[in-house]
Amino acid sequence: MRRVAIAGVGHTDIMFDSPKTEVEMFAEAAMDAINESNLKPNDIQAINCGNALGDFSEGQGMVQSYIADDIGCFNVPATRFESACASATLGIRDAAMWVASGQYDIVLAGGTEKATAMGTPLATRTFAMGEDSRYDSPSGMTFPGFFAMLAHLYCSRYNIPLEKLKEQMAMVSVQSHHYGVNNPHAQFKKERTVEQVLSSFMIASPLQLFDCCPFSDGAAAVVVASEDVAKKLTDKPVYIVGTGQASAGKMSAQYKYLPRIRAREVSVKQAYDMAGLGPEDIDICELHDCFSIASIIAVESLGFADFGHGGELWEKGETKIGSKIPVNISGGLKSKGHPIGATGASQTYEIVKQLRGELVDQGRQVEGARVGLVDTLGGDGLSCNLILKAD
């Protein structure tokens, strides 16, 4: 198996109500990644595009085919990846495997989403299609309700007072907004305080407005290449040294394991084992903080904190730049935004930029970062992880 690297990256602004279509947004991000890699569109041998909701937001299926045509990659195999929020991460993982196997030398992977065009009711309904439609959805469950339930289960399992957990969750949101201010691509660029989070209106108890990520439009893309090709294209290749993917099934089948997400623990172990690394080796992490409780649960499953103690990382400031494990220095899904089909590629973009040392001017560079972890949760039971390493 060949070593695989990311040679170039591209990213649109994440926003509410983008004037561009999903195809146009992906083309923008893709051309930035292609140009940064010193390539031309006809050098691309395959395209993997994450897209979860285009059928509903634009009435557009087969988005991958029109993307290939739009950027001038004629007659190459183009594949749409749909796995809710993990769609783009799966596309990057598969691109890495294809290149590692020798099937292709250069693959363009990423994602695009235009969720805000649907409005809140339809967007909420389509988001919920990432849950089990036979048993979970008929109960009225949507993702805010699911993660609110996890918060209550978390308190019960680890004997943590609900008010304490709410304060910890507020600290998660405050930190995300703090770093999002300096991310030029972020949807929200405004500081928040713990008091503002705790006084915002209730969405699904105990989750309040500022505990929840927004609906978002945006796209991101990366060029995945074999080591020998990548070294010709860039003097700063970032290697994909570990990947993992696992599924845990419907929520009702996971009741004995919740609030832990079993798929994440399986997936990240696969990535750690493949890379020959452990959580102690990670310098920076972009994790799936769709809701503030999700961050606390994630840092435990990724190995950064003992179970029941994840929130203490934020209390002690150990998730900030210069601390134990910098988390979501991009602003995360909460502040940067959550363009579902593009989110995994957006996370990967951030880690690549950090490992190259290119965010100094934005005031959010993690000094000396050499190894980064991407964590993306899809639906209520699928997880995909990528470990990236600077040369």
- Please name the residues in contact with 140: beta carbons below 8 A apart, sequence gap of 6 or more: none
Catalytic residue list contains 152:
no
C-alpha 72: how far from chain center: 27
Backbone φ/ψ region at 384: left (φ over 0), alpha (ψ -120 to 50), beta: beta
Distance CA 165, CA 159 (A): 10
Annotated active-site residue in 49, 85, 213, 290: 85
Task: Strand 217-226: give its sheet, edge to edge.
Answer: 78-81, 46-50, 106-114, 217-226, 4-11, 238-247, 382-390, 371-378, 284-286
Distance CA 351, CA 369 (A): 9
Backbone φ/ψ region at 308: left (φ over 0), alpha (ψ -120 to 50), beta: left
> Which SS3 state, helix, strand or coil, does residue 1 take?
coil
Catalytic residue list contains 85:
yes
Distance CA 72, CA 69 (A): 5
Long-range CB contact pairs, 115-122, < 8 A, 24+: 115/53, 115/57, 115/215, 115/216, 115/217, 115/339, 115/340, 116/16, 116/17, 116/18, 116/215, 116/216, 116/217, 117/17, 117/57, 117/58, 117/217, 118/53, 118/56, 118/57, 118/215, 120/215, 122/56
Beta strands (DSSP E) in 100-251 are: 106-114, 202-204, 207-208, 217-226, 238-247
Tokens of 42: 């006809």
- Please name the residues in contact with 377: beta carbons below 8 A apart, sequence gap of 6 or more: 85, 86, 261, 263, 264, 288, 290, 294, 298, 383
According to DSSP, the β-strands at 382-390 and 46-50 are unpaired
> Which SS3 state, helix, strand or coil, does residue 390 take?
strand
Q: Is 74 exposed, middle or buried (0-12, 13-18, 19+ CB in 10 A)?
A: exposed
List the catalytic residues: 85, 338
